[in-house]
Amino acid sequence: MEARTLRLSFLLVTALLLLLFTRSWIHLPYNTPSENRFQSNIPNIKNPPKGPKPNSIDDHNARTPLHPLDPLTVQEINRARSILYSYPPFSSSPPNSFTIHSLVLQEPHKQLVLKWKTGDPLFPRRASLIAILNRQSHIMTLDLGSESVIRHEISSSSGFPTMTNEEMNYVTSVPLTDPKFNRTVRSRGVDLTDLACLPISGGWFGVKEEENTRRLIRVQCYSLQGTSNFYMRPIEGLTVTVDLDTKQVVEVSDRGRGIPIPAAANTEYVYNQNTHMTKSSNSPRINPISIEQVKGPSFEIENGHMVKWANWEFHLKADPRAGVIISRAMARDFAGSVAMRSVLYKGMTSELFVPYMDPTEAWYFKTYMDAGEYGFGLQAMPLEPLNDCPRNARFVDGVFAAADGKPYVRENMICVFESYGGEIGWRHSESPITGMGIREVRPKVTLVVRMAASVANYDYIVDWEFQMDGIIRVKVGLSGILMVKGTPYDHMNKVPEQEELYGTLLSENVIGVIHDHFVTFYLDMDIDGLDNSFVKVNLERQQNSGSETPRRSYLKANRRIAKTEKEAQIQFKLYEPAEYHVVNPSKLTRVGNPVGYKVVPRATAASLLDHDDPPQRRGAFTNNQIYVTPYNESEQWAGGLFVYQSHGEDTLAVWSERDRDIENKDIVLWYTLGFHHVPCQEDFPIMPVVSSSFDLKPVNFFERNPILSVPPNFEKDLPVCKADASA
């Protein structure tokens, strides 16, 4: 027994030493243990700057909320933490026995927010908190004024809360405590100090009882030797299952014996200026481009969260799960009423579903829910000035709570900027036939709110773009690096004809696995008020028989108001075209049309998985491209409140089957943007941005097009830039 204890102690000490050299996915740039990583994220709290940093909105320590929807401040997070730590059973438990998985503002009821005006006193500030203690998920509401707990429930859901960053960091070192894992890594020719490991959520498949009772995660590792791009060097087939609560190895599986580690050659992506200069003769020349606003930006960010620009104003905040939340988006019609008119009460990324199409043992479980499992906002990285965002951008930080409840700052998480890429918003030139020398053009200048989340290998860029013609464009860009599979094959002529690769051979010993991306958006539309209806406008061919003209057919727009949820479950069909309107039937234009907005889809994709496949049961909110539900404060996350290892019993698809009334009600529109990705060699060793979008476009909302209120550009108003002498 004594010898066994000594051996375990030796292994633990060895693992801790190796942790100093082994890099986990979430703190690669820092090269520090996970404990120090969070200290490095809170300089504004422990060492507040003497003055505001360039482009910073505020000093977080001095921040006080001024709007009912403002996120929790540093002081409020600290107060919420104190309330929890003094509340039984947490007060009687060791601090390291429980973890805080979510600590955010409990938003006031919508009706109260709609009545609030600038200068009014704020409603009582409350915090929504989710914590795990003794393997149970506790849901709590804390009143920050009275410093009391006013709601406390223990979840009966099948799922678990979003992982914490600390868990994701720590779990990648746990495999090093297992001798079998260490032997396997060495047998593959990889030094333990060259490991880079990823925490991989395992979904739920219902085949093992432990899936229902334990929070489990898979860990897979890569070789860093010779490249920063370790993703291209997988130790294929080696999977370690870890218990997130006990931090112990449950199982080590090695299905990759005989598969070599792909070479590091031609995989590096980190820019090296010296190396680049020596190769400049073979590199394309692109002179720098920058947008300069000599009079300053046209937008304002008041009190850190209220954005005002052109004919738009809205509330903006960072969120650890959704990333960015846009609230109270209102537009002004300069040609009609000068009052601000409601368009969108709340818009956000609700969930991301990313299933990989490889059913083999080391890959079948890769069916990620990036928001509910990892936290889309938690994985948002600081944006890089000049490259992520142009010179004229302003930056907004996120203030979040760590697993122990202490606040930290995610600097430069969001940027806001005016964008102009030479596009035209509107133009018309009269033909010489008319004899009218008219040439009218309006430049297309837009306001962009941007964030980028790096969820392990993949980077997601999300833009909310506000346009002067009343359009809100929501754009998603996919980039980063592929998650690849190791293979013994280095050429397609060596692959047996009957063998399924589940992807594309991208380079020697590297397969890019086919996968999907689905991004579901929550859009609480309030078109000129709460009571709205969803109208499907079918474009149908009509025969023109018996007409006086030789025309045989034409298209007719047939409008149908959806009365219940099932009537608003929409799957796009190319040969059954339709428009999808949200209208306010009680507000009419001057000529009698109901005011509204419509969803305008662009390139998208639908899930082709079997509806009974466990990943699709959990991701059933992608079964349709559009859902419409009645507003419900508890229904904001398409995959359910607790997504991790959930069974799919609390999703948007389940709620919608209740078939509730939605006509002339406060309704929420859900839109899923999809991508099928069949990798190609141009995706190696990095993946350039692939993007798509959808529009929220006014339809009879304005009395005339608001872009006519925008003046054209004039030479006298623009800065004069001189070329460099060496140009």
Contact between 350 and 376 under an 8 Å Cβ cutoff? The reply is: no
Distance CA 238, CA 251 (A): 11
| Non-local CB neighbours of 677 within 8 Å, separated by 6+ positions | 478, 514, 515, 516, 517, 690
- What is the DSSP pairing of strand 148-154 with strand 195-201? unpaired
- CA-based end-to-end distance of the chain: 77
Q: φ, ψ for residue 425 (rounded to 5)?
A: -85, -35
Tell me, what DSSP letter sits at residue 595?
E
Using left for φ > 0, alpha for ψ between -120 and 50, and beta otherwise, residue 290 falls in beta
Using DSSP's 3-state secondary structure scheme, residue 176 falls into helix
Contact between 240 and 175 under an 8 Å Cβ cutoff? The reply is: yes
β-partners of residue 198 are 220
Distance CA 420, CA 289 (A): 12
Using DSSP's 3-state secondary structure scheme, residue 4 falls into helix
Contact between 596 and 578 under an 8 Å Cβ cutoff? The reply is: no
| Non-local CB neighbours of 377 within 8 Å, separated by 6+ positions | 318, 319, 320, 321, 322, 323, 324, 398, 400, 410, 413, 451, 453
The DSSP result for 515-559, as a single string, is EEEEEEEEEEE-TTSS-BEEEEEEEEEEE-TT-SSS--EEEEEEE
Q: φ, ψ for residue 104 (rounded to 5)?
A: -140, 170
The DSSP result for 210-274, as a single string, is HHHHS-EEEEEEEE-TT-S-GGGSB-TTEEEEEETTTTEEEEEEE--TTPPPPP-TT---S--HH
The DSSP result for 286-311, as a single string, is --------TT--S-EEETTTEEEETT
Distance CA 630, CA 661 (A): 7
Q: φ, ψ for residue 724 (rounded to 5)?
A: -60, 145
Q: Is the bond into 685 cis (omega within 30 degrees of 0)? A: yes
Report the run of H or E that residue 588 belongs to, with start and end.
strand 578-588
Catalytic residues: 370, 458
Distance CA 322, CA 372 (A): 9
Q: Is the bond into 89 cis (omega within 30 degrees of 0)? A: yes
